[in-house]
């Protein structure tokens, strides 16, 4: 199974900060990676697909990069509505696997 190691597991930041979350795959997955945002009591929402393509309707302050085994999600300038938990997902090989999540909290 491919393990997705997401870091950090939690992060405190302020409105306006630039934030980066990383996912490392235990083996190469090409660009078969997505990033998701989940707020309490809500279903996850896809932000990024194909490692770097922005989902329609998602603000441009979100961006994704990487390929192979190392991937990053960057939020260029944090907004109040961005405080949530973020997950990466690999769908290159079965079983598909998520990272353990990054909880982004207000400093």
Site residues for other proteins per CB under 8 A: 32, 34, 36, 38, 43-46, 49-50, 55, 87, 89, 91, 94-101
> Diameter of the chain by CA atoms?
38
Question: In the structure, how many helices (H) and strands (E) does the chain have?
Answer: 0, 11
- Least distance in Å: CB of 74 to other proteins? 20
Q: Which is nearer to other proteins, 68 or 101 (CB)?
A: 101
- Least distance in Å: CB of 19 to other proteins? 19
Q: What is the C-alpha to C-alpha distance for residues 28 and 83, in angstroms, rounded to an integer?
A: 30
Q: What is the C-alpha to C-alpha distance for residues 80 and 56, in angstroms, rounded to an integer?
A: 20
- Least distance in Å: CB of 24 to other proteins? 16
């Amino acid at each position: 199974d491919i393990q997705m190691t997401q870091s950090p597991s939690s992060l405190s930041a302020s409105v306006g900060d630039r934030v980066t979350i990383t996912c490392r795959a235990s083996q190469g997955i090409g660009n078969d990676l997505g990033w998701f945002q989940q707020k309490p009591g809500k279903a996850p929402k896809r932000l990024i697909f194909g490692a770097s393509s922005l989902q329609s309707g998602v603000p441009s302050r979100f961006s994704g990069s990487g390929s192979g085994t190392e991937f990053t999600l960057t939020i260029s300038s944090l907004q109040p509505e961005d405080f949530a938990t973020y997950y990466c997902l690999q769908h290159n090989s079965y079983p598909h696997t998520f990272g353990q999540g990054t909880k982004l909290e207000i400093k």
